[in-house]
Chains A and B, each alone.
Chain A
Amino acid sequence: MSTKLKRSIIFWVLLSPIVVVILFPYAVMTISSLKSAQEVLNPNWWPSELHWQNFPEMWRTSGIAPALANSLYVSALSTALTILVSIPAAYALSRYQFTGRDVFRQFLLVSQMLSPIVLVIGLFRLVAGAGMIDSLNVLVVIYTAFNIAFCVWMLQSYFSTIPRDLEEAAWMEGASRWRTLAAVFLPLAVPAMVVTAIFTFINAWNEFVIALTMLRTEGSYTLPIRVFSLVAGRYTVDWHYVMAAAFVASVPVAVLFAWLQRYLVRGLSIGAVK
């Protein structure tokens, strides 16, 4: 047996307890979503038949379709807005020396530390005062504000790895600063932008407490609130539908993440030390 094979077996044996525990809830989710209404109450692993019709039934009855649309709208828009305001700030931090640069960096750091939950009372008062409860656009602005720090931080540490020589060479050739930015710098920064964009998207997609506070009518619910409302404060819960809904809400992002995670390791390892 080769040493690598032997090592692989040992490592998988060591990892198996944690892998089993991590996968357990998602296995429960998947299996429960395929059980019939009677069978879901029996805690056996394998259903006697796979109830695929749970998914179309859940889709019709649970109001998940508008929630999916709302989640997509909020996540896509806040991602776009975050990237739009973060790129210039990150560029300024990585390419200019200016008074207040360190203050701005510390401000970002502090803003990342303050989670939405600590500010939720104040945010609610402001939003209610403006009569904008139930507005998805308010959610977009709030998510953007709370993601700016992380994005600027990540983009800036990536921008700093792009050699200045390239831009200086373009200036020498007579290109303007704007033209250099558009033709030389930004294309090189695309990988970092993609990683931060996907990260922001996942954050917005999964956010709970602000949405729970600001969205009061069913039509405006995002996915986490929609699924939570299927469980909370009810005497009878249709767990097979709830699990089907949780499955639909989780799988797209999980697939996206599985594909992204190696970039994230690299990105965070730069971001963490800068």
Chain B
Amino acid sequence: MPRATAPYVLIFPSFLLASAIILWPLKEIVSLSLHDVNRFGMLRDFIGLEHFRVLFADPDFIAATWRTLLWTAAVVAGTLIISVPIALILNEDFYGRGIARILIMLPWAISLTMTAIVWRWALNGESGMLNSALRGLGLIDTNIQWLAQAATAFPMQIFIGILVSIPFTVTIFLGGLSSVPDDLYEAAATEGAGSWDQFRLITLPLLRPFINIAFVLNTIYVFNSFPIIWATTQGGPANSTDILVTYLYKTGFRVGKLGEAAAVSLIMFAILLVFTIIYVRLAMREAKA
């Protein structure tokens, strides 16, 4: 194999596969979003931005968009705030650290669908063990119908979202902490810096790139997260816990409005692209540093 063409031959299969599965559907979505489409996916007249206009006039879509932003912001912020101290503890040397790491990483290995289905059962009003655990602790007197109204269902979904995002985030932070040289702390200690100063002046700045990466990756994953909401409430009751992904799925596969669903995809794609560009910037800055 001549040297000049070798790398192209080597990357070709992966490039072909990834671009076929990503660019081709993207092209389909663009054309669906600009045409009148019947529910069997037959393209009819070109209608320009009509689907987008319909979407922005739909209060459910607007509500789902705001809810998606709230969902993403709450889950990502909650995850980052809880993950930093966990990672700091798991980075220390103590008895049972191996077990503690495995326990905290566990939700990562278990399918989100399974976790969400189990939570749906645990949150059941009469038979759910969350109610009985909370009653046992004396925190509530009467059973709460957790998933029957958005006021309790959505915060619970955010809570589940945070729990399942912690493992990945802690893993990234542990990777970052393991790159902090110990002698920095020793030097700081001899200079008389207390542990809070050590955290503020050494750990946090060195962890910063990892926090950035965890922030952007989590934002993308949470924004796209489908199983938690779908398996607990399917966006209900009365669309009150819909986020964009569940709205998209319902519009496309329940109502059969493929054109509008494609338009939702493109709007999500545009939002994701902004995140991606931020991510590429961060990754590039890391690569140079």
Using a CB–CB cutoff of 8 Å, the interface residues on chain A facing chain B are 4-5, 7-8, 11-12, 14-15, 18-19, 21-26, 28-29, 31-32, 40-45, 84-86, 88-89, 91-93, 96, 98, 100-101, 104, 106-111, 113-115, 117-126, 128-129, 141-142, 144-146, 148-149, 152, 177, 202, 205-206, 208-209, 213, 223-224, 227-228, 231-232, 239, 242-243, 246, 249-250, 253-254, 256-258, 261-262, 264-266, 268-270, 272-274
Contacts and interface: CB of A to CB of B under 8 A. Distances in A.
Consensus secondary structure, chain A interface: helix
Contact of B280 (A109, A117, A270): A109
A23 B99 CA distance: 13
Contacts of B132: 43-45
Contacts of A145: 17-18, 20-22
A141 B20 CA distance: 10
A42 B126 CA distance: 8
B136 to A, nearest CB: 9
A4 B25 contact: no
Contacts of B269: 114, 118
Interface in B233-289: 234, 245, 248-249, 252-253, 258, 261-262, 265, 268-269, 272-273, 275-276, 279-280, 283, 286-287
A141 B114 CA distance: 24
Contact of A4 (B21, B93, B130, B227): B93
B10 A88 contact: yes
Contact of A206 (B28, B113, B129, B234): B113
Given A32-B129, A122-B27, A208-B226, 11 more contacts: A15-B86, A22-B163, A28-B129, A29-B114, A113-B273, A121-B29, A122-B29, A208-B230, A227-B117, A232-B231, A273-B287
A86 B253 CA distance: 33
Given A26-B106, A43-B128, A257-B108, A118 B117 contact: no
Contact of A250 (B26, B110, B220, B286): B110
B155 interface: no
B22 A45 contact: no
Given A32-B121, A115-B220, A206 B112 contact: yes
B102 A261 contact: yes
A119 B261 CA distance: 10
B110 A22 contact: no
B120 A261 contact: no
B38 interface: no
Interface string B96-112: 10101111111111111
A185 B135 CA distance: 60
B145 interface: no
A228 B226 contact: no
Contacts of B6: 92, 96
Contacts of A86: 14
A243 B118 contact: yes
Given A120-B252, A232-B234, A269-B179, A224 B102 contact: no
Contacts, number: 300
B265 A224 contact: no
A270 B210 CA distance: 12
Nearest to B174: A265
A254 B110 contact: yes
Contacts of B249: 117, 120, 209
Interface residues of B, number: 107
B123 to A, nearest CB: 10
8 contacts: A4-B95, A18-B104, A117-B249, A125-B41, A142-B21, A224-B111, A227-B114, A265-B171
B74 interface: no
A28 B26 contact: no
Given A23-B103, A239-B127, A85 B21 contact: no
Contacts of B109: 202, 250, 253-254, 256-258
A88 B20 contact: no
A124 B220 CA distance: 22
Between B86, B109, B126, the greatest number of chain A beta carbons within 10 A of the residue's beta carbon is seen for B109
A266 B172 CA distance: 9
Contacts of B89: 11, 14-15
Contacts of B262: 121-122
